[in-house]
Structure 1
Amino acid sequence: MENLWRDSDAEATVEAYAGKGINRDLALRTYTTRLLGGEPRLVLHGGGNTSVKTVVSDLVGDEWEVLCVKGSGWDMGTIEPQGLPAVKIAPLLKARKLQTLSDEDMVTLQRANLIDPASPNPSVEALLHAFLPHKFVDHTHSTAILAIADQSSSKQMSAAVFGTKMGFVPYIMPGFALAKAAAEVFDRDPGVDGLILDKHGIFTFGDTAKEAYDRMIHYVTLAEDYVRQHGRKPYKAASLPQTIAASGDIAAMLRGAVAVARGEGRYDRMVGEFRTSPEILEFVNAAEVEDLASRGVSTPDLSIRIKTGPLVLPAPDAETIQDFRGVIDERVAAFIADYTEYFRANDARDDVKRTMLDPMPRLTLVPGLGMFGHGRTLKDARIAVDVGEMWIEAARDAESVGRFEPVSRPDLFDLEYWSLEQAKLAGAKPKPLTGQVAFVTGGAGAIGAATAKLFAREGAHVVVADLDPGRAGDIARAIGNHSIGVECNVTDPASVRAAFDRAVATFGGVDILVSNAGAAWEGAIATLDDGLLRKSFELNFFSHQLVAQNAVRIMKQQRTGGALLFNASKQAVNPGAKFGAYGLPKAATLFLSRQYALEHGVDGIRSNAVNADRIRSGLLDDEMISKRAAARGLSVKDYMGGNLLGQEVTAEDVAQAFLHHALAERTTADVTTVDGGNIAAALR
């Protein structure tokens, strides 16, 4: 492993933070923490921790000897000094004399001694850092180290690789007991450079930031060299179908299968992330892949990300892909049954009352394709596949030098259902549309952009689809939540299919369609050009049918229902003079929404329309508004507010109506009017 320490970079970091009142110790601690956190083979997504013992002043100027240790919620790759909260070290050292200390009391002790009470909780391994005497302490979950630690003979193999320069700590769950045990191992041989924690990872330490970091890289490299020199090919390739289906052929099926059913047609949906590479394919194509997956995760912390380990599917045969959903359902059901029994058996070991987490897999391996991550957000799904890649590397290397034997299931359960981890999960409250994917056409217009923004704010991942891909991309980036902009000509079947395929490739499927794209043309009906009328029907009716067909195709693969939301117009029920070219196809679209409600309610797919009028958008721009107002002898304000409420209706008001329908789980075939009040356009 490359040593990334650079004297010039270290000194530049010290100088930059000096101007912010950060001392040299903490600046260098931040620098090397980032070096460690930027390497996924050492640290992933909030894992690992580092510390430095230094002196800081409190608000009244009193100086304290403190332990600055990584705080909960901070990622080592991007950490700032405030992510290393300072804890008075003397009370922590006194705690070593205790025989026992509950996790809750440990957290209380650490928080009670923070210099800044607003700081995040110090790492659960803060006491381990405190009990070691060195100024700088580093901890990672190196995959190369885990190849050595995840063995039945891990202690002997560790001695063979590292000699006497690394202490060995038998597996103990993080917390007070592990801190005491690790300190006792060090006390028996204080000449060691670090500690190997069985089934867990590695600690190194030193008097300087560079020394602790150098030792981490050195011992990880020794482990890498050992695997390279002593490893054998750990598995053989399985036979696969002649023609493998594409990832897009099964993504929506799999996404639907892992959605958590809440009863009465309600689901907590997952977002999917697909990843593949030659290394991933070599592993998932192995004849032994199911056996390896069944042995568990490479370090207990991963249970928070991928539970007891991955689900494994058979290779999807393109010739029989129509039957593959049944295969997925069988494998998911087996995973659920296994996880439920895992919970039942381990929960029965004591009198603690626990609630089982949802039993769905978070990582799925698919021979011939790669792997899918599942999460309530795209971020969580991506974390799952990131973790999956490192799990594959650790399992492969462990198997190549011995036999991959990670932590036992009872020990895994203790960490997955650890009260401190449960508290973190309890604090994460999903938004109304969390886990859902919304596809918005005409997304670069005023109504489309307002709808996309609102849906993203409520937790949805949004596909902003528009004829102008640049503008769609700008809006997607502005609204955030991993939304994407895609080019979509809603009158072109190939373009629409490509846009929906992009949605599936990015998020795994689609749950909500907001069919919003449209344009208005004027002309007296008796003399209206036939080509113009047909053009209007293509955009204002047939495009709605085209995007709805694609959405329903995906929703039926998912089998978790969905929502089709159509932007109709008051013209559909209250035609205006010279607006037949617009009103006729909109009337057809209104009935189209009801036809979908009629035919696909059985699939749990709801279909509703929003009937809006006089909204500033691509259909009604400022120039057109001025002309219409002038034609009626009105000011623009009086024209736009010419309704029962006397208020202008905005694109955001229309977006709220779409959101209402997205959340109204027992409403279909409905039309919501958003026009400030127009009795002639009222449906009831």
Structure 2
Amino acid sequence: MLDKQQGAGLANLWDDAKAAGMSEPERLLYRSNLLGSDKRITNYGGGNTSAKVMEKDPLSGEMVEVLWVKGSGGDVGTIKLDGFATLYMDKLNALKGIYRGVAFEDEMVGYLPHCTFDLNPRAASIDTPLHAYVPKKHVDHMHPDAIIAIAASKDSQNLTDNLFGGEIGWLPWKRPGFELGLWLSDFCAKNPQARGVILESHGLFTWGDTAKEAYETTIEIINVAIGWFEEYNVGPAFGGAVKPTLEAAERAAIAKRLMPVIRGLISTDEKKVGHFDDSQAVLDFVAARDLKPLAALGTSCPDHFLRTKIRPLVVDFDPAKPDVDTTLAGLPDAITAYRADYAAYYDRCKHADSPAMRDPNAVVYLVPGVGMITFAKDKATARISGEFYVNAINVMRGASGVSTYVGLPEQEAFDIEYWLLEEAKLQRMPKPKSLAGRIALVTGGAGGIGKATAHRLMQEGACVVLADIDETALASAESELAARHGKDFVRSVSMNVTSEAAVEGGFGDTLLAFGGLDILVSNAGLASSASVEDTTLALWNKNMDILATGYFLVSREAFRIFRNQKAGGNVVFVASKNGLAASPGASAYCTAKAAEIHLARCLALEGAAAQIRVNVVNPDAVLRGSKIWTGEWKEQRAAAYKMDVDDLEAHYRERSMLKLSVFPEDIAEAIYFLASDMSAKSTGNIVNVDAGNAQSFTR
């Protein structure tokens, strides 16, 4: 069995009643989403599906055969109808007449747009000929772990023949493209009884006359392989465990220490975001005797390889004698050695027209007894890269359990990674957003300013951790931001900023979630109003605890992380106009806010040598969305000005020099400016966002 945690075989989820009223393209979509819903069938973005459909030609009015096939870069599990490319089959067949041979097959991709049906803007993928030239109406190409374990075995052809007879054929390794499409066409012509084919080191092709038949064939063939592995792959995985597996809390604690240091070492040219995985499949692998030799072989399936690089970095850590300090001290040399090895691989395999060498750092870091850490340009990519390596682990488990696992040959791996067509696709990618790869923690994150700030930072590509003491509001804010920006980009932690333990725990959770920290927005707050003689010691201490001590505690923890990462950092305090301009009846609040501002100045001095910038935003009278203005403070201020609470916003607007109201989004914009590279040469500064107040001019 590949992964003993996965359970029994795949269920047939096809629903005749649901499919009955669908058009052929809709049934293709239905089939695709079913197949993509289970990672045992295919990984994210991997595999593709197609259907050959009779459509009315918009020019001639005649019925013509059209290939609907998953477009370039799509994911079958989440694809919609507009994610499919549509191409004239007669034009695709005509391409065979101009094909100049395998040395020129890449040029055939340039002809695919000429085959487009009905001006469909969705780009066709390199796999289009593989679907077009199979003479069946419905074709599935999946990457099931159970099948790739066969495809990546030393004797994969014999295993295929013994397991499937003539129903499923076998083809040797061939890079996806026009030539492989012709191979599939030739195979089908010579083997009309076959229902599919296993591609060495790649995956599974299956087909049928109907969408249901194709789907059920795919499920059936995968289940045969799963059942066979369950019966015959019963020995200790990867040669058996030789290292202990640490308890979950200790694994997490070690990952929290390793991740920011690794991140700092590999983020010199591009900020990276991390992901930690200590699932059972990973733990089995990192504890095993054969960890290092199997890891050195790399992955087999091209989709796995493109996401996880030529091979992972196995971190030098002994869980039997845990010494994290020694491991941390050895990381710089280990990462330098990995880069040198990658550069040597590039030099050995490069061609005269190969693109320049890309990032030489590892994507996957395997820690014995602890788990797997992955780093990429954003959280989604880091998570998906980890999922792909888990697929690779499952493949190695299966292949090495019944045969000998074989990785993709080095030159073939290089030719996939540095394929000119792949390079062209990378060059078409949109320019990264200004905060791509940055990680921010926002205290008071569930309030108006905090949530608006998180939204603004996430708009620019940052991952954000919301920290707040109000767990109900926190859950609501996280849900709202996840819906707007994607759940990979936001997390939340319950944090009382006056508690050392809570602050340390919240920052630790941030490290485990994203791998590091770049930006701290210290925004947790309260407001109080009382004359000095009516100000109790409890009220005074509450202001100082939250607005001074709280800002100190979160800053101290952020500085510790920044110094470990050795990649600079950015702190933005949300203070107040009252920190510069005294107000009667609010001595505790004004004094605490003044302390915040002076603390920021001190921190700016301390952090400058390490490229840690500290700046302040001073709002005033931000009523909308503010939790501070929903309780007694609003009533107290209205009473002080002898007006109705509903008149307060107009009062503050008219009081300002610019006669404008100040909103959470205005504060968020200033925070974004100070957190971004637009203010890269600013530290120790104060930006007032108060619509103009002469008393709070800085002097």
* 1:640 counterpart letter in structure 2: R
1:672 to 687, 694, 699: 687
In structure 2, relative to structure 1, the CA distance for the partners of 1:62 and 1:630 (3 Å cut) is: farther
Q: Deviation of residue 118 (structure 1)?
A: 3.3
Distance 1:219 1:402 in 2: 20
SS where residue 655 of structure 2 aligns? coil
Using a 3 Å threshold, how does the CA distance of structure 1 residues 207 and 157 change in structure 2: closer, same or farther? Answer: same
Superposition deviation, residue 224 in structure 1: 3.0
Deviations, residues 345-400 of structure 1 (Å, cap 9, x unaligned): 222x3x21512221222222211112122222221122112112111000111111
Q: 2:220 aligns with which of 218, 221, 240?
A: 218
Equivalent residue in structure 2 for 1:338, among 333, 338, 341: 341
Q: 1:249 to 1:548 in 2, by over 3 A?
A: farther
Residue in structure 2 matched with residue 32 of structure 1 by the alignment: 31
The CA deviation string for residues 587-614 of structure 1, in whole angstroms up to 9 with x for no partner, is 1111111222222323332211112222
**Separation in 1, partners of 2:211, 2:643:** 76
Matches within 5 A, 1:270-669: 270-315=272-317, 320-347=323-350, 349=351, 351-426=352-427, 427-480=429-482, 481=485, 482=487, 483-525=490-532, 528-616=535-623, 617-620=626-629, 623=635, 626-627=638-639, 629-630=641-642, 636-663=649-676, 664-669=679-684
How far, CA to CA, are the matches of 1:105 and 1:625 in structure 2? Answer: 72
Distance 1:526 1:36, change over 3 A: closer
User: The residue matched to 2:540 in structure 1 has which SS?
Assistant: helix
Q: TM-score, normalised by structure 2?
A: 0.90
**Partner residue in 2 for 1:235:** 239
**What one-letter code is carried by the residue in structure 2 that aligns with 1:444?**
A
- Give the whole-Å Cα distance in 2 for the aligned partners of 1:256 and 1:524: 49
Q: Once the two structures are superposed, what CA deviation does each residue of 1:480-523 show, in whole Å capped at 9, x if it has no partner?
A: 23312332222222332332232223222322111111222223
Report the AA paired with residue 107 of structure 1: V
Q: How does 1:22-61 map to 2 (within 5 A)?
A: 23=23, 25-59=24-58, 61=61
Matches within 5 A, 1:142-153: 142-153=144-155
Change (3 A) 1:518 1:635: closer
Mapped contact 2:149–2:398 kept (Cα < 8 A): yes
- 1:10 equivalent in alignment to 2:19: no
Q: Which residue of 1 aligns with 2:117?
A: 115
Counterpart AA for 1:455 = L
Q: Which amino acid aligns with 1:567?
A: V
User: Aligned to 1:85, what secondary structure does the other structure show?
Assistant: strand
* Residues 449-471 of structure 1: per-residue CA shift (max 9 Å, x gap): 21111111111121121121111
What displacement does 1:635 show?
A: 7.3
Q: Which moved more, 1:232-241 or 1:163-172?
A: 232-241
Q: Distance in 2 between matches of 1:430 and 1:333?
A: 26
Q: 1:69 is matched with which residue?
A: 69
Shift of 1:415: 1.3
Percent sequence identity over matched residues?
32
Q: Equivalent residue for 1:20?
A: none
Question: What's the secondary structure of 2:575's corresponding residue?
Answer: strand
Deviation at 1:316, TM superposition (A): 5.6
Q: Tell me, yes or no, if the aligned pair for 2:131 and 2:139 is still in contact at 8 Å.
A: yes
List per-residue Cα deviations over 1:201-229 (Å, max 9, x = no partner): 11112222233233323333333344344
User: What is the CA distance between 1:103 and its match in structure 2?
Assistant: 5.9
**How big is the shift at 1:303?**
2.4
Contact in 2 for aligned 1:629/1:639 (Cα 8 Å)? no
Deviation by residue 1:547-578 (Cα, 9 ceiling, x = unmatched): 11222233333222211111122222221223
- Per-residue CA deviations over 1:407-461 (Å, capped at 9, x if unaligned) read 1121111111223322332314321112122111112222112111111111112
Contact 2:444 2:467 in 1 (8 A): yes
Any conservation in 1 of the 2:265–2:332 contact (CA below 8 Å)? no
Instruction: Give the secondary structure class of the aligned counterpart of 1:444.
Output: coil
Q: Distance in 2 between matches of 1:310 and 1:547?
A: 34
Change (3 A) 1:543 1:99: same
The one-letter code matched in structure 2 to 1:335 is: Y
RMSD: 2.7
Change (3 A) 1:635 1:512: closer
CA 1:535–1:218: 2 relative to 1, 3 Å:
closer
Q: Does 1:174 align with 2:163?
A: no
Distance 2:500 2:361 in 1: 35
1:581 CA drift (Å): 0.9
> Are positions 1:164 and 2:166 aligned together?
yes
**Relative to structure 1, is the Cα distance of residues 55 and 646 closer, same or farther in structure 2, using a 3 angstrom cutoff?**
same
Equivalents in 2 of 1:140, 1:410: separation in Å?
24
TM-score, normalising length from structure 1?
A: 0.91
Alpha-carbon distance in 2 for matches of 1:104, 1:163: 34
Asked if the contact 2:264–2:566 (Cα under 8 Å) also holds between the matched residues in 1, the reply is no
Preserved contact between residue 251 and residue 371 of structure 2 (Cα < 8 Å): no
* Residue 251, structure 1, aligned to residue 246, structure 2: no
The Cα offsets for residues 80-100 of structure 1, whole Å up to 9 and x where unpaired, read as 333333211011112223233
Residue 660 of structure 1: how far off its partner (Å): 1.1
Contact 1:450 / 1:652 at 8 angstroms: preserved in 2? Answer: yes
Structure 2 distance, partners of 1:274, 1:239, is 19
Per-residue deviation, 1:284: 0.9
- SS for the counterpart of 2:466 is strand
Superposition deviation, residue 171 in structure 1: 1.2
Query: Any idea what SS the aligned residue of 2:323 has?
Result: helix
3-state SS, counterpart of residue 597 of structure 1: helix
Cα distance in 2 for residues equivalent to 1:319 and 1:515: 35
Q: Secondary structure at the match of 2:53?
A: strand
Tell me the SS of whatever aligns to 1:434.
Answer: coil
Q: Is the 8 A contact 1:298 1:407 kept in 2?
A: yes
1:124-169, CA deviations, whole angstroms, 9 ceiling, x for partnerless residues?
2111211111111111112122222213333233323333333322
In structure 2, the CA distance between the partners of 1:148 and 1:639, relative to structure 1 (3 Å rule), is closer
The runs of 5 or more residues in structure 1 that have no matched partner are: 18-22
Give the secondary-structure state (helix, strand or coil) at the position aligned to 1:78.
coil
Alignment partners' CA distance in 2, 1:635 and 1:452 = 27
1:119 deviation in Å? 3.7
**In 2: Cα distance, 1:635 partner to 1:420 partner:** 61
Residue matched to 1:85 = 85
Q: Following TM superposition, by how much is the alpha carbon of 1:632 offset from its aligned partner in structure 2, in angstroms?
A: 13
SS in 1 for 2:170: strand
Conservation of the 8 A alpha-carbon contact between 2:241 and 2:289: yes
Quick check: 1:201 aligned with 2:203? yes
Do 2:135 and 2:188's aligned partners in 1 also have CA atoms closer than 8 Å?
no
Whichever residue aligns with residue 538 of structure 1, its letter is D
Distance 1:47 1:492 in 2: 46
Alignment length (residue pairs): 671
Shift in alpha-carbon separation, 1:626–1:530, aligned structure 2, 3 A: closer
Q: Name the SS for the 1:76 alignment partner.
A: coil
CA distance in 1, matches of 2:620, 2:126: 57
CA shift in 2, pair 1:398/1:319, >3 Å: closer
| CA–CA distance in structure 2, aligned partners of residues 146 and 410 of structure 1 | 20
SS at match of 1:374: strand
Separation (CA, whole Å) in 1 of partners of 2:245 and 2:371: 15
Q: For the residues of structure 2 that align with 1:489 and 1:58, how far apart are their CA atoms?
A: 65
**Where does structure 2 lack aligned partners over 5 or more consecutive residues?**
1-7
